[in-house]
Amino acid sequence: MANFSMKADFGRWHALSESSPGLPAYVRTIVYAPGVRHAKLEDSKNPGSGYARRTLDFGRGDSWRINRQEIDMYISPPDLPIPIFPNASKLIWDGKWVLRSCLSQYGVHSSKVTLDTILRFLRQLPRIQDVRFINFTGLTVNDACIILNALPPLVHLRFNTTLVKSNTAGSLPILSTAKVSILQSVCFDSSDIIMMDPYTLENADWFVDYLLSARGVTVVPLQTLICTNAAFTSEAFIRLLDATSSTLTQVTLRATPERDFWLNIGSVFGPTGKTPLINLVHLHIRTIDRFTNDLKLEISWAVSALRHLHAPNLQYLTITALLYNLDPTDIFDEGNFGWREICDDIPRRLPALQQFIWVWSDQCDGRLDVKENAQESMHRALGRIPQFSVEWKQHIEY
């Protein structure tokens, strides 16, 4: 692994490649994290100082604040060129401090954090296939697309905490057809992938536009799609499913409380969706990740997906929900969601189903009555489906 966070890292690899030219060929993983390690080192010297603390305040004009200004966040010093890493296949990008448009007024070295230096760095990684973007921030949509275009054809692409600002004008860069041809998995994980305005959360439809921009491309060969709190509009998500429906085998979705789309997921799997997910084998539906007193609202969107989903080869269906000392008995009464009709209809829409598991994240503080009531009411509602079962887990990775 080669970690590039501080200027010393670039100097070290420059020297190593000069003395041992064959060494870079043994590196398989590149970590690109300008300033992150320096901030952690400073925090370790003075615990609790909050050196690396960053706050975002949507109510203030000076929304980004940093406790100190001097952060060693070089990303590709021109006087210390790094070697080509010919066999590196994985890139982990942690751009916590790459906020060039947000931080310039606060004296952070924004002149070092430019699109040109980022592209110079990426040119040294000709065989990257697996990219994870953490804190993909401080960029316009146009910048983000240029960076994606600078990468070689990818097999796996993952976004975690992505804040991208909408362009004021202009069209997006066009994706090359070759770069779409081998893409197997896309993941929008944990935090929202959004276009960021200090006061308004918009959507990430730009990524769908970019992905489908390649000339003549109507099918994207994705096999795995994970969207947890991804802020797409239903129209964009339908376009994405239409383009991937013939190849998708695994899908994970989690609701976003700020998005009505996720609470009306039936519009995606229902009549407005053009094509059934003909090769889908695994589907994992997660309910809204928040504390709530409205459990019915929590699971309504999952039930809507269950009611409308058409996947003739689906074998494994999992619904995961959180239970915080709320008795779900009433939710599984026939009058709420029409469970009998759902049970009768599932064999028609999901004829290959082998396993249907409803997983509760157990936050009941040991209240056995809540668990027993839930178990009994759920089997009463869904027990007519032979493949149905209920599981309880203390900790679930959301």
Higher pLDDT, 53 or 239: 239
Highest mean pLDDT: which range of 80-94, 232-246, 256-270: 80-94
Give me the DSSP letters along 230-250.
----HHHHHHHHHHHTTT--E
Residue 353, pLDDT score? 95
pLDDT at 135 over 60: yes
Lowest-confidence range among 29-43, 78-92, 133-147? Answer: 29-43
| Strand pairing category for 316-323 and 282-286 | parallel
pLDDT at 104 over 50: no
Residue 220 in tokens: 């994207």
Determine the Cα angle at 203 with ends 213 and 58, to 5°: 140
Beta-carbon contacts of residue 389 (< 8 Å; ≥ 6 apart): 355, 356, 357, 358
pLDDT at 105 over 60: no
- Residue found by looking up tokens 């966040």 in the block: 73
Strand runs labelled E in 274-328: 282-286, 316-323
Q: pLDDT per residue over 176-201, tens digit each? A: 777 888 999 998 875 544 444 433 34
Instruction: Report pTM.
Output: 0.81
Q: How confident is the model at residue 290 (pLDDT cuts 50, 70, 90)?
A: low
- In the sheet with 29-32, reading across from the earlier edge strand, the strands are 2-4, 29-32, 90-94, 130-140, 156-165, 185-195, 224-228, 250-254, 282-286, 316-323, 355-362, 388-393
pLDDT at 168 over 90: no
pLDDT at 128 over 80: yes
Highest mean pLDDT: which range of 15-19, 76-80, 213-217: 15-19
Residue 15 in tokens: 């020297």
Residue 192, pLDDT score? 45
3-state secondary structure of 274: coil
Look up residue 171 and give its DSSP letter: P
Q: pLDDT per residue over 350-363, tens digit each? A: 999 999 999 887 76
Cα–Cα distance between 93 and 38 in angstroms, integer?
Answer: 16
Higher pLDDT, 22 or 398: 22
- The average pLDDT across 152-161 equals 89
Residue 364, pLDDT score? 59
Cα–Cα distance between 282 and 31 in angstroms, integer?
Answer: 31
Q: How many helices (H) and strands (E) does the chain have?
A: 14, 14
Residues facing 165 on adjacent strands: 140
Q: pLDDT per residue over 71-83, tens digit each? A: 455 566 666 788 9
Higher pLDDT, 49 or 151: 151
pLDDT at 41 over 80: no
Residue 111, pLDDT score? 39
Q: What is the dihedral of CA 375, 376, 377, 381, to 10 degrees?
A: 100
Cα–Cα distance between 63 and 46 in angstroms, integer?
Answer: 26
Cα–Cα distance between 119 and 373 in angstroms, integer?
Answer: 57
Cα–Cα distance between 256 and 233 in angstroms, integer?
Answer: 11
Highest mean pLDDT: which range of 41-55, 80-94, 176-190, 384-398: 80-94
> Which is nearest to 272 in space by CA: 219, 310, 298, 221?
310
pLDDT at 273 over 60: no
Q: Is residue 164 a contact partner of residue 192, using CB atoms and an 8 Å limit?
A: no
Distances in Å between the Cα of 260 and the Cα atoms of 67, 140, 234, 267, 300 are 37, 25, 9, 11, 12
Cα–Cα distance between 74 and 11 in angstroms, integer?
Answer: 11
CB atoms within 10 A of CB 100: 23
